[in-house]
Structure 1
Amino acid sequence: MVQAVDKHEPAFSRVIVDEFEARDADEGTVAAWEAAAWYGGDLNKLYLSTEGERLMDNGGETEGFETRVAWNRAFAPFWDWQLGARRDWQPDDPNRDWASFGVQGLAPYLFESEATLFVGEEGLTNLRLEAEYEILFTQKLILVPAVEANFYGKEDEELGIGEGLTDIEAGLRLRYEIRREFAPYIGVNWERQFGDTAAKTRGAGDDVSETTLVAGVRFWF
């Protein structure tokens, strides 16, 4: 869809469901998603995103998800800074609201990179670092390694989150683009908690690390 905001910068829109998958987790089958949409031109965009997980077995229960809205502004070729807000939705625990400040773009060697600082209530801060890379075996068969790390400036007792490095999530997904807009994939996902967060999780009798097989589909329009 194309519309003209003004004569200098036409506006475009796109919806990208980067991950829509089933994970074979210890507690059962988990549905996970990561999706984004944007509207705007080369310099300015309105950006919306969501990600989360839902347990599909035993009646199903959303384990938690987040939504974000932000304004993107290009400041260099292939780089944007971002100003916005995020909300964490928890099924049993209190929701969290954050202001967000970040940058995203293509690092050297075509790594898609993102660094975002979230500032919440009661002095809570969360720094999130993300990186992803595409390895093309053919024009249709693509391997995508990705990693995400979270750091917190202070502990959040209500949610069982400690100070410092709290968790790392890494994935490896192999997709086949039937069309550029539609690509099923398979892969593996690894999650690990660290520091005080891991200690709190162990104290609750839960595991601090999990590796799951995944299968899903990526599509955009």
Structure 2
Amino acid sequence: MRLGLLVSAALIPLASPALAQQHQAHDDHQAETPHAGHQAAPAEEKPEPADQDQGIDHGEMGHGEMDHGSMDHGASDQGEMDHSTMDHSAMGHGAPEPSAASPGPDMETPPPPEAGSGPPRAADAIWGAEAMRASREDLQKTHGDFNLFWFQADRTEFQARDGRNGYLWDLQGFYGDTTYKFWFKSEGEGSFGAPIEELEIQALYSRAIAPFFDLQAGFRQDLAGPDTSYAVIGIQGLAPYMFELDTALFLSHRGDLTARVEAELDQRIIQSILIQPRAELNLSAQDVPELGIGAGIESFEVGIRLRYEIIREIAPYIGVEQTWKTGRSADLARAAGEDPSVTNFVIGIRFWF
């Protein structure tokens, strides 16, 4: 017992200088490199834990601030490491150097030269042509190669005016694909308690001639007043600034040439409320007394409608429209007891599907 105490007393003075040197090197390393993830080289020697812990206050040596979970004290000899020879910047301890080029188009690599040089139907080699045929046909349909049916009642309205109130409808629609369509149109108007004043139907073949314009050709038949048939050719589409245009030339079976130009613009005020100015111009190359038409500008209409979309497909509206007959047409209207200038206050509904 007395011999063991003497041996311990002799070993403590020998171990203490080495232990102090080791902890001094560790504290220098902690001040220099605050990264807890650094792993030191394996130790060649390590003192016995029992001898090191005697009389040492680890709290005063800064061990309480070290991340012991990420640094393995048992596997590292801090006293034997020469930290002056270590390149801390290479290990990410220093400030990062600025990159030579910032991320952007200059760093994007171009596609390889062989990109896109394969066969156009490469999937056939894997799955077979029969298996891919249905998928290919479905792809064509979903990208525009299919027929659509569309119908719109652009104006169906009640017209309040001096004298006898009236009504009006303006319908159109088509069936076809994005290039070829069959168009149908119908317009009519009249006064309550009197025969229909105007009633026409049109059947047209339409072909796209520009991204937003169709060339239309067909026939028109008037069913009110004198029975008249027309050959029709016209252009319909969407002009710049979102103006919807519908123009047509009519050649009757009697040789009378007339024309019509319609333009309207939908301006959204808020999400569900729109205002629509509209204008229509009718012209004639000659007098047609039996139809009450004079040469030149036969009539001119301007109007404005305020529309509320209950849903996109159903929208009631209110508005006002002014119609003038001019020149020889105004004279023919007065001779028939009609007013060549009429103001209509309208209420109606616009719908499509």
Percent pairwise identity = 38
Aligned residues: 213
Deviation at 1:122, TM superposition (A): 2.2
TM value normalised by structure 1: 0.91
Query: SS of the counterpart of 2:147?
Result: strand
Query: Does 1:28 pair with 2:160?
Result: no
Tell me what 1:205 maps to. Answer: 337
* 1:190 aligned partner, one-letter code: Q
Structure 1, 172-181 or 21-30: larger mean CA deviation: 21-30
In structure 2, C-alpha distance between the alignment counterparts of 1:157 and 1:220, rounded to whole Å: 37
In structure 1, C-alpha distance between the alignment counterparts of 2:263 and 2:302, rounded to whole Å: 10
Query: SS of the counterpart of 1:28?
Result: coil
What is the correspondence of 1:1-221 to structure 2 with a 5 Å cutoff? 9-56=145-192, 58=193, 60-90=194-224, 93-221=225-353
Higher gyration radius (CA): 2
* 1:206 aligned partner, one-letter code: E
* 2:180 aligned partner, one-letter code: N
In structure 2, C-alpha distance between the alignment counterparts of 1:159 and 1:189, rounded to whole Å: 23
Deviation at 1:174, TM superposition (A): 0.5
In structure 2, C-alpha distance between the alignment counterparts of 1:87 and 1:79, rounded to whole Å: 24
Q: Does the Cα contact within 8 Å between 2:148 and 2:176 map onto a contact in 1?
A: yes
Query: SS of the counterpart of 1:214?
Result: strand
Q: Please, what is the CA RMSD of the aligned residues?
A: 1.6
Cα offsets for 1:2-41 (capped at 9, x unmatched): xx9x967200001111111100022322121111121000
In structure 2, C-alpha distance between the alignment counterparts of 1:13 and 1:24, rounded to whole Å: 34
Cα offsets for 1:100-123 (capped at 9, x unmatched): 011111112111112211111222
Deviation at 1:157, TM superposition (A): 1.7
Tell me what 2:129 maps to. Answer: none
Query: SS of the counterpart of 1:45?
Result: strand
In structure 1, C-alpha distance between the alignment counterparts of 2:314 and 2:242, rounded to whole Å: 22
In structure 1, C-alpha distance between the alignment counterparts of 2:182 and 2:175, rounded to whole Å: 5
Structure 1 gaps of 5+ residues are: none
In structure 2, C-alpha distance between the alignment counterparts of 1:95 and 1:170, rounded to whole Å: 28
Deviation at 1:204, TM superposition (A): 2.7
Structure 1, 157-166 or 140-149: larger mean CA deviation: 157-166
Query: Which protein has the bigger helix share?
Result: 2
Query: Which protein has the bigger strand share?
Result: 1
In structure 2, C-alpha distance between the alignment counterparts of 1:127 and 1:153, rounded to whole Å: 8
In structure 2, C-alpha distance between the alignment counterparts of 1:139 and 1:32, rounded to whole Å: 27
Query: SS of the counterpart of 2:254?
Result: helix
* 2:234 aligned partner, one-letter code: G
Q: Does the Cα contact within 8 Å between 2:289 and 2:332 map onto a contact in 1?
A: no
TM value normalised by structure 2: 0.58
Structure 2 gaps of 5+ residues are: 1-137
Q: Does the Cα contact within 8 Å between 2:149 and 2:174 map onto a contact in 1?
A: yes
In structure 1, C-alpha distance between the alignment counterparts of 2:176 and 2:309, rounded to whole Å: 26
Tell me what 2:60 maps to. Answer: none
In structure 2, C-alpha distance between the alignment counterparts of 1:45 and 1:29, rounded to whole Å: 37
